[in-house]
Structure 1
């Protein structure tokens, strides 16, 4: 290990940056964020440094470097474009036993600036010891994506109650289990969404449960898994999936997404096909409540978005009636994901000024949809679960005034590696289904915007009809 990572408190220190270019400005910004008093020493300033001076955030000494400038300083940065000057600054600082950083030359100084992930008061730092700064920035980006932007709010909550927890729970094991429960559940999410009072109230209730020896309060996460591509999961969805003890999942949740669930979680398949339900809806509701009451964190993982034809509202109604804590994580609905991956904008200034989502489930091979409202100029129609009903959809739309030549797209297994797109018209689309053996899950898009598919498609070549 070439450098020992340390976190220094510089809020009461004076920092001198020798140099006035863009790099000097970036170093000044970091030091200012940590509370240091910053002085720039340079005969001239670049625009970024000049802004800091104009805003009175830093002092500027308009001069060429001399060793005397190090007097009364606590920390030094050599950031000129002249390596000879930089090395002289480093040598002078070392002689005075001052910490010094030399930009682009980690061995010349006594410390380096890492890539910083700031979720104050939580701060993470990444370094390659100066060997690979681009790699360090990429690593920082990866870590940034894993840490919620509001992580600092959660850390503040923990700091506020830390002493109370120490006084209430005896033994490090009990305290560790308590904090794991807080940091991996609904309390943490309340804190990170700015609901400070609600988070504090729940934390105090949980603390009393632990004090009484009851560690069994569970909760449910209703999570939208998106249309299939794992990269379309939200950060929050992934985080909750990886902390759940039990996962109830639909058939539309792809194997690639299930692979991201915590490895030791219990997986329960509750998928539904037409006229074939692995578990009836009432049974799903019962499973959610039973596992939560057993003290488990339960993830209800649903394809697409749970509130768009996903019966998510019915499920959380039952949870609320049972007094179970829950939270909802929206997902990218099939209409948005499948259309975007097929180069079909759902709205477009020249073709469509509105979009309508429709469930196409038929009862007794008939439909009570308000077809007159669906046949409207400048509107895109998106039918979910409509493959079996496609002949009826085409017939009814044409019967209510839609042109038989209206473009139609069928998107099969959208956003997955098996993604296929078939385009035709209302009068020819059913024949195309028979020719290509199109299977569910398939999304149907009806409207002039389908014409743009051939121009804008980027994900996979289309199968033409």
Structure 2
């Protein structure tokens, strides 16, 4: 280990930044955020530093650096573009035994400035000892995506309850177990979703009856159309903390690989036709029973839970039983698959409206308002339409749609195996007869399909 990672308290302590450019400005802003008293020394100052001085946030010393400028500072940061000046600053600061950082010169520095993920009072610092700053920025970006900003609020709440927990549990191991249950359970999730007062009330209740089973929670999460990179940050967080995951057949392998390794996995997929499927009422009952047992339950659905995902039926059941739940939207197949196929759903020259249609109703029929589909400047997206594609084409032509209207069939959209088939109302039956196309698929009908040849970007 090249450096000992420490956090220095500079609150209300004098600190010196030498340099007046944009880099110096960034360092000054960090020190101000840490509530330091900042002096900035330089012959010239950029506009940002001047503005800070006018606000009283920084004291300007307009002169060139000399070794006599070293005083009793908590830390010194050098960010000049003169290597000889930087070397003098380093030598003078070290002689006075003041911690010094020379930007981009770790060999002249007694400490280095890490890349920071700020979730105050939780602070995460990442460093490569100056060897790979770009890599450090990438790592920080990854941490930013998986550590919610509300972790700071959670830490503040923990501070409020710290003494109460000490009073309740005399043994360290019991206190540790209690906090682990808070930080990784339903209470933490309530903080993340903004239910602060409710979370505090729950901690009080937990302290009074620590041995009783608390009611769990259900997360209704949209997994998107397949590409795991399309998951939202919140979806990723919830699937990685769930005790149990109920998933359907449209959730991709890539998304399932992101689920917490020790989670219990329950397959509740549905299939069309006469194939064996999990009944919706059984899924509803499972969600209720698992949550009542105190589990954090993730109902993971392909696409978006509220767009042909029957999410509404599931949260109706949860609501009736008083089970707390959250709904996390996902990128629906229409949006994801059309984007990856280079087919905009709306376009000023081709389409001013878009309709999402399921090809199967609850009773197994396809009783659709065909007349409303046959209008100009409209895109129609049919979900679950592969088995009924020929019938759909026939009905659209019967109600007056141009027989040459382009159609796209997108197989395994957003995935590496994605295939896009372009046809028309009259030619689609022949294409389906000759090509071996398998679900999951999406069908897009409309003039916008013509743009695929020009805009297709994925997999080209």
Q: Same fold (TM over 0.5)?
A: yes
CA distance in 1, matches of 2:377, 2:416: 32
CA distance in 2, matches of 1:71, 1:159: 36
- Counterpart for residue 221 of structure 1: 219
What number of residue pairs does the alignment pair up?
459
State the secondary structure of the residue aligned to 2:84.
Answer: helix
The CA deviation at 1:220 is 1.6
RMSD: 1.9
The CA deviation at 1:460 is 2.5
Moved more, 333-342 or 48-57: 48-57
- Counterpart for residue 261 of structure 1: 259
CA distance in 2, matches of 1:182, 1:372: 55
The CA deviation at 1:229 is 0.9
- Counterpart for residue 242 of structure 1: 240
- Counterpart for residue 439 of structure 1: 438
The CA deviation at 1:173 is 3.4
CA distance in 2, matches of 1:449, 1:174: 62
Q: Is the 8 A contact 2:213 2:293 kept in 1?
A: no
The CA deviation at 1:456 is 0.8
CA distance in 2, matches of 1:169, 1:320: 35
Per-residue Cα deviation, 1:341-382 (whole angstroms, up to 9, x for no partner): 101111112211221111111678752212222223222111
Q: Is the 8 A contact 1:411 1:422 kept in 2?
A: yes
- Counterpart for residue 355 of structure 1: 354
CA distance in 2, matches of 1:186, 1:54: 47
CA distance in 1, matches of 2:101, 2:206: 47
State the secondary structure of the residue aligned to 2:91.
Answer: helix
- Counterpart for residue 71 of structure 1: 71
CA distance in 2, matches of 1:176, 1:220: 25
The CA deviation at 1:458 is 0.9
Q: Is the 8 A contact 2:165 2:207 kept in 1?
A: yes
* TM-score, normalization by structure 2: 0.94
1:236-385 pair list within 5 angstroms: 236-275=234-273, 276-361=275-360, 366-385=365-384
CA distance in 2, matches of 1:314, 1:80: 63
The CA deviation at 1:286 is 1.7
State the secondary structure of the residue aligned to 1:398.
Answer: helix
Residue 348 to residue 208, structure 1, CA distance change in 2 (3 Å): farther
Moved more, 111-120 or 43-52: 43-52
Per-residue Cα deviation, 1:263-320 (whole angstroms, up to 9, x for no partner): 2222111111113343211111122222222222221111111111111111111112
CA distance in 1, matches of 2:365, 2:226: 30
Residue 331 to residue 296, structure 1, CA distance change in 2 (3 Å): same
CA distance in 2, matches of 1:239, 1:90: 44
CA distance in 1, matches of 2:245, 2:364: 34
State the secondary structure of the residue aligned to 1:411.
Answer: strand
The CA deviation at 1:56 is 3.9
1:162 lines up with 2:169 in the alignment: no
The CA deviation at 1:190 is 2.4
State the secondary structure of the residue aligned to 1:231.
Answer: helix
Q: Is the 8 A contact 2:146 2:236 kept in 1?
A: no
- Counterpart for residue 42 of structure 2: 42
- Counterpart for residue 114 of structure 1: 114
Q: Is the 8 A contact 1:67 1:89 kept in 2?
A: yes
- Counterpart for residue 94 of structure 1: 94
Per-residue Cα deviation, 1:130-180 (whole angstroms, up to 9, x for no partner): 222222222212212221133222222222222223323443333333322
Q: Is the 8 A contact 2:190 2:196 kept in 1?
A: yes
- Counterpart for residue 409 of structure 2: 410
State the secondary structure of the residue aligned to 2:80.
Answer: coil
- Counterpart for residue 136 of structure 1: 136
Moved more, 38-47 or 407-416: 38-47
The CA deviation at 1:390 is 1.2
Moved more, 379-388 or 367-376: 367-376
Moved more, 301-310 or 97-106: 97-106
- Counterpart for residue 57 of structure 2: 57
Q: Is the 8 A contact 2:390 2:429 kept in 1?
A: yes
Runs of 4 or more off by more than 6 Å in structure 1? none
- Counterpart for residue 80 of structure 2: 80
- Counterpart for residue 395 of structure 1: 394
Q: Is the 8 A contact 1:243 1:262 kept in 2?
A: yes
State the secondary structure of the residue aligned to 1:337.
Answer: helix
Moved more, 186-195 or 121-130: 186-195
Moved more, 271-280 or 167-176: 167-176
Per-residue Cα deviation, 1:106-148 (whole angstroms, up to 9, x for no partner): 1222211111111111110011112222222222122122211
CA distance in 1, matches of 2:266, 2:147: 28
Moved more, 67-76 or 38-47: 67-76
Q: Is the 8 A contact 1:269 1:278 kept in 2?
A: no
- Counterpart for residue 187 of structure 2: 187
State the secondary structure of the residue aligned to 2:443.
Answer: strand
CA distance in 2, matches of 1:306, 1:133: 40
- Counterpart for residue 9 of structure 1: 9
Q: Is the 8 A contact 1:362 1:389 kept in 2?
A: no
